[in-house]
């Protein structure tokens, strides 16, 4: 029997690709309801979806920021029956906080947080009644928290200090036996119980890539943290009703998201920000960010394939990173519960190591590709 899948934000990027991939499923297991704010923007989707439109693909208009629009859209679905809800619609916001108006910040929360909550609120009661359903939320590595789902790696305590950007010594004191995974352990941390330069190097190198992603995305990051917190709480209740909830956490993805943000940046005038901050933003952050998208970015197809895997898994995980290069965020948060390690490492990497970016990325790629793959969901 076909499953009804409703997806938000399908006029471009990841949402469009998920809609097409599911509508084109060879076994025709999905009836895709692709939604977008403005149906005049449907052409790209329809072109990519080919002859599936009218068969496994339907189009509806939906603005996640409007109660009426959400209600009307769900009411127009047959029996309001949605098996899988994919909350994909989202907006970004870049720049020094001093320069951003409160209204702009609220707009991000309105879409990324309240928009998702509004959708869940509308669809979840029917899922609960039916004792079945799966809610997917497109989060981000920028929405990751300390308690990330990493069954392979549990570091209980760690000692660390940062010396000129190098974490040294870094000794992870205890690894829960049942979660021991020697391959991952050795790659990232060296032999258990011993500080290791190799580990230091690899951890540093990988974090460099992440650092430029996080800074100056403060409000966007906060909106994704907010939705992760909401979901962490909801997942517990939903389990009781046999409704599944999964977060997809991509790193950089080549979509209009990136282009739209860069266009915004070009127009920015930075009222209220001091010259140093503007310089860090324009001369350090923006070039590194572009590098990162180029070097590490995944395609929206990759994210669509990961999402399909999560939907089709018999026991879907709650958290699903799509890019294994970003797993060090998780390791770092486990390693220092006080949070100091993250802040100081990002600081050192962004402001003291910027020029090493290229070398770093290639080393990192070699280091991580095979051994950490199983902690992430891969598109293939």
In whole angstroms, the minimum distance from the beta carbon of 221 to ligand NAD comes to: 11
Which residues, including other chains, have CB under 8 Å from residue 123's CB and lie 6 or more apart? Answer: 6, 74, 82, 85, 133, 135
Cβ proximity to ligand NAD: between 31 and 37 the closer is 37
Cβ proximity to ligand NAD: between 111 and 246 the closer is 111
Cβ proximity to ligand NAD: between 206 and 255 the closer is 255
**Phi, psi dihedrals of residue 143, rounded to the nearest 5°:** -105, 10
**Site residues (vs ligand NAD, CB under 6 A):** 8-9, 11-15, 37, 63-65, 88-91, 111, 115, 138, 140, 250, 252-253, 255-258, 260, 300
Q: What count of other Cβ atoms lies within 10 Å of the Cβ of residue 235?
A: 17
Which residues, including other chains, have CB under 8 Å from residue 186's CB and lie 6 or more apart? Answer: none
Cβ proximity to ligand NAD: between 11 and 320 the closer is 11
Q: Which residues does the annotation mark as catalytic?
A: 220
In whole angstroms, the minimum distance from the beta carbon of 367 to ligand NAD comes to: 22
Contact call for residues 367 and 202 (beta carbons, < 8 A):
yes
Cβ proximity to ligand NAD: between 141 and 184 the closer is 141
Give, as one character, the DSSP assignment of residue 246: E
Which residues, including other chains, have CB under 8 Å from residue 93's CB and lie 6 or more apart? Answer: 100, 104, 105, 107, 108, 217, 219, 220, 261, 264
In whole angstroms, the minimum distance from the beta carbon of 143 to ligand NAD comes to: 8
In whole angstroms, the minimum distance from the beta carbon of 214 to ligand NAD comes to: 12
Give, as one character, the DSSP assignment of residue 194: S
Q: Which residue from 182, 154, 184, 188 is spatially nearest to 170, judged by alpha carbons? A: 188
In whole angstroms, the minimum distance from the beta carbon of 62 to ligand NAD comes to: 6
């Amino acid at each position: 029997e076909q499953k009804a899948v409703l997806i938000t934000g399908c006029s471009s990027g990841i949402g469009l690709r998920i809609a097409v991939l599911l509508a084109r499923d060879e076994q025709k297991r999905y009836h895709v309801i692709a939604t977008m704010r403005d149906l005049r923007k449907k052409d790209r989707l329809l072109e990519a979806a080919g002859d599936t439109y009218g068969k496994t693909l339907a189009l509806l208009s939906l603005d996640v920021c409007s109660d009426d629009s959400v209600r009307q859209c769900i009411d127009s679905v047959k029996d309001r029956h949605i098996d899988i809800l994919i909350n994909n619609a989202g907006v970004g916001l870049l720049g020094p906080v001093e320069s951003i108006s409160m209204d702009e910040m609220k707009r991000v929360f309105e879409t990324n947080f309240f928009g998702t909550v509004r959708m869940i609120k509308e669809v979840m009661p029917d899922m609960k009644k039916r004792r079945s359903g799966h809610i997917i939320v497109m989060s981000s590595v920028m929405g990751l928290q300390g308690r990330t789902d990493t069954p392979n790696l549990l570091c209980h305590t760690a000692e660390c200090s940062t010396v000129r950007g190098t974490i040294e010594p870094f000794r992870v004191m205890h690894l829960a036996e049942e979660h021991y995974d020697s391959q991952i352990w050795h790659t990232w941390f060296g032999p258990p119980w011993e500080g290791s330069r190799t580990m230091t190097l690899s951890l540093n190198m990988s974090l460099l890539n992440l650092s430029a992603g996080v800074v100056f995305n403060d409000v966007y990051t906060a909106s994704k943290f907010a939705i992760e917190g909401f979901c962490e709480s909801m997942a517990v209740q939903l389990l009781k009703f046999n409704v599944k909830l999964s977060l997809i956490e991509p790193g950089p993805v080549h979509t209009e998201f990136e282009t739209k943000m860069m266009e915004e940046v070009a127009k920015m005038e930075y009222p209220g920000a001091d010259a140093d901050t503007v310089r860090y933003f324009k001369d350090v952050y923006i070039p590194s960010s572009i590098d990162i998208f180029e070097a590490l970015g995944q395609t929206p197809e990759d994210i669509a394939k990961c999402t399909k895997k999560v939907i089709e898994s018999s026991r879907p995980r709650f958290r699903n990173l799509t890019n294994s290069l970003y797993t060090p965020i998780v390791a770092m948060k486990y390693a220092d519960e006080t949070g100091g390690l993250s802040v100081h490492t990002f600081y050192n990497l962004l402001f003291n190591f910027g020029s090493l970016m290229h070398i770093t990325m290639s080393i990192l790629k070699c280091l991580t590709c095979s051994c950490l793959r199983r902690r992430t969901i891969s598109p293939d």
